[in-house]
Amino acid sequence: MKNLTYISLLIITLALLLITACDYDTNPALPNQPPETTIANIPVVGDTLFSLVNLQWDGGDSDGYIVGYEYRYHTKYVTSGDSIHRSTWNRTEDQSLTLAFDSKDLINLQHFEVRSVDNSGAVDPSPASKHFYTEQAVAPVANIILPGVDSEWFALPYVTDWWQGIKIAYTASDLDGEVVEYAWAVDDGDWNWTTDTTVYVSPDYFSSLEGEHKIKVIARDNTNIESINPTEISIKLFTPSFDKRILILDDTFEDEFPAGNNDTDEKVDKLYADIFDVQNEDDWWDYSDKIYLKSPLPPKELLGQYKLIVWHADHRAGGSGTWHHIAENEDYIKDYLDVGGNLILGGWRVLRSFVQSGAIPYDFPDTTFANQYLHIKRMTEPSLQLGNFIGAITTGDPRTRDTLKVDQSKLLGDFRLGGKLSDVNIISRVGAFTENLLTYDGVPGNETFLQYYGLPVASLYRGTSFKVVVLGFPLYFLEEESAHLAANYILNKLDFQ
C-alpha cells in the first residue's frame, strides 16, 4: 500500500514539472551553414594550355551533404583586350570535367569558378577559383563531297521509297582537335546540326524546288569552335514533267564496228528511229558528238521531259574498243530513275562495262548500280573465240526461234565472228520483281551452244518507281525486221504506248 502511494506521488510530481517546463522558451535551431568548395592545384595558376582543360574540385558541408556543383568561367581575349565572354552558372554532379574554353584569340585569359550546393539548396558564397591562359584553337574546315559544284538534280515535291530528297555528303578537318558535329543549311534557312556525314534534304527545306539553290555546311570541333566560313556550293533543281515519249541516247562508236562493216552513225540512228518510232531530231542525243562539252549527257532539264530513255551502245566494248559510258554515269541515271523515269539499256558487252577487268562470271555486290537498279545479280559471257549467238528466243516460247535473228551480213567481215555475235552478256541471276525476257540461241552442235542455249540475254525489272529493261546484245546487229519485233515486244512488256 505504501508503494502504491509512493508511485502516485511520483507521477503527480513529474506532471507538475512538465507543466512548469512549458512556461520557458526553448533554444532556437541553428541556421543552415553554407557548404565549402576546394579546387585541385592542377592546372597550375598562370599556365598556358590547350583550350580543352581538365579541372577537379571537391566540396564539404558541416551540417548536411553536397548534392551538386555549379561552375562558370569568364574569358578575356588578351590580344584584343576589350572582348570578354561571360558564361552562366552550369549545374553538374561530377567532381571532374574536361571543358572546352573559349579560345578565339591568340592568347585567352580564363577565370574559372566552382561552388558546392548542399541538400538545403545553399551554395558556397565564396566559390573556389583558378585562372590560367589558353592558346588560340583552330576552327574546323568543312568540305562538301556531294552534290558537285553547279550540278543539276531532279527533285519531287514529296519523298518516295526511291527518292528521299537531295543527297548531301560532306566531311571536315581540324588541325588541333577533333570534329564532333556538322551542320547544313539550304539557302538562307536554319542550320541543322547532326553527327551524320550524309543526309537527304527533303523538299520542305526548299522554298521552291525549281531553280538554283545554295547548300552550306559548317562543322564544330571538340573545343566548341565552329567553322569560320561555311563551305557553299550552288546546285540547280528540276521537277521532271515526263510529258514526252522517248529519248534515244546513242553511245555507239561506229568506227569500232567489226572489220568490213562500214555502217555510219546515220544508218544506226535511222534503225533506232524506226524501231522506236522516234522521228523528231530533238528526241535524239549522240554521246560521241557531245564529248567536247562539259558533260556529254543531256541536261537534266531536257532529260526530265521524257518518260523513257533508250541508252544503246552497239560497238563491241573493251579490248581495243571504247568501254560504254553508262558505268561512269551511274549517278546521272540513278537520279532519273529515282524520280520515276524508265530505261532500256542495251549494247555489245554493256554489262561487261560495269565489270571491265573483273573476272567472269561476275557477281554484282548488293550496293552496285547493276544490282540495285538493273536488278542483275550475276553476269557472264562467251569469249570472242566462242561467238555463236545467232538470235534470241522469247522466254518460255521456243516457237519464236528464228524470229529475232542476227544480221549475219553485218558481221561477216570479221573472220572471228563468221556472221555470229560473240561476247553476248548472259544474265545469270536476277533480283526480285525481275523477269527474263529473251534467251540465248546459237548454232547447234558445238560447245557454246550446249553451254549457253536457253540462258537469259534480256531482263525486265518492274519497280515501284521505275522500270528497266537490259539487253545483253546490240539491237543494231539484228535483222531489221527482227529489231522491229524486239522493240515492240519490249515496249509491250513495259506497258509503254
Answer whether residue 28 is part of any domain.
Answer: no
* Domain shared by 45 and 181, yes or no: no
* CATH code for position 106: 2.60.40.10
User: Which tens digits make up the pLDDT trace of 165-203?
Assistant: 999 999 999 988 899 999 999 999 999 999 999 999 999
* Domain shared by 439 and 347, yes or no: yes
Residue of 229, 198, 231, 197 whose CA lies nearest to 214? 231
* Domain shared by 251 and 325, yes or no: yes
* Domain shared by 224 and 319, yes or no: no
Answer whether residue 27 is part of any domain.
Answer: no
* Distance from C-alpha of 350 to C-alpha of 473, rounded to nearest angstrom: 8
Q: How many domains does the chain have?
A: 3
pLDDT band at 23 (very low <50, low <70, confident <90, very high): low
* Domain shared by 118 and 148, yes or no: no
Range of the domain at 231: 141-238
pLDDT band at 366 (very low <50, low <70, confident <90, very high): very high
* Distance from C-alpha of 22 to C-alpha of 159, rounded to nearest angstrom: 81
User: Which tens digits make up the pLDDT trace of 429-487?
Assistant: 999 999 999 999 988 877 778 888 999 999 999 999 999 999 999 999 999 999 999 99
* Domain shared by 339 and 365, yes or no: yes
The rounded mean pLDDT for the chain is: 90
The grid coordinates of residue 255 equal 568506227
Residues of the chain with pLDDT > 90, as a percent, come to 70
pLDDT score at 358? 77
* Domain shared by 121 and 265, yes or no: no
pLDDT score at 413? 78
Answer whether residue 99 is part of any domain.
Answer: yes
Q: Is the pLDDT of residue 386 over 70?
A: no
* Domain shared by 439 and 489, yes or no: yes
DSSP letter at 123 equals B
User: Which tens digits make up the pLDDT trace of 347-359?
Assistant: 999 999 999 877 8
- Residue 415 or 75, more confident: 75
Domain final residue, candidates 97, 120, 135: 135
User: What's the whole-number mean pLDDT along residues 367-378?
Assistant: 97
The least confident of 17-21, 219-223, 304-308, 492-496 is 17-21
* Domain shared by 122 and 259, yes or no: no
Report whether 442 contacts 449 (CB < 8 A).
yes
pLDDT band at 134 (very low <50, low <70, confident <90, very high): very high
* Domain shared by 76 and 114, yes or no: yes
Residues of the chain with pLDDT > 70, as a percent, come to 93
* Domain shared by 227 and 271, yes or no: no
Answer whether residue 379 is part of any domain.
Answer: yes
pLDDT score at 140? 94
pLDDT score at 415? 65
Domain final residue, candidates 110, 135, 160: 135
DSSP letter at 155 equals -
The grid coordinates of residue 93 equal 554532379
How deeply is 317 buried, as exposed, middle or buried, from its count of CB atoms within 10 A (0-12, 13-18, 19+)? buried
Q: Is the pLDDT of residue 142 over 90?
A: yes
Q: Is the pLDDT of residue 5 over 70?
A: no
The grid coordinates of residue 374 equal 538493273
User: Which tens digits make up the pLDDT trace of 417-427?
Assistant: 788 898 999 99
- Residue 54 or 292, more confident: 54
User: What's the whole-number mean pLDDT along residues 368-397?
Assistant: 87
Answer whether residue 7 is part of any domain.
Answer: no
pLDDT score at 292? 77
Residues 6+ apart with CB under 8 A from 188: none
User: Which tens digits make up the pLDDT trace of 152-174?
Assistant: 999 999 999 999 999 999 999 99
pLDDT band at 259 (very low <50, low <70, confident <90, very high): confident
pLDDT score at 13? 58
User: What's the whole-number mean pLDDT along residues 324-332?
Assistant: 93
CB atoms within 10 A of CB 199: 18
For 47, the enclosing helix (H) or strand (E) is none
pLDDT score at 252? 95
pLDDT band at 289 (very low <50, low <70, confident <90, very high): confident
pLDDT band at 260 (very low <50, low <70, confident <90, very high): confident
pLDDT score at 80? 86
* Domain shared by 300 and 389, yes or no: yes
pLDDT score at 102? 87
* Distance from C-alpha of 181 to C-alpha of 160, rounded to nearest angstrom: 28
Answer whether residue 439 is part of any domain.
Answer: yes
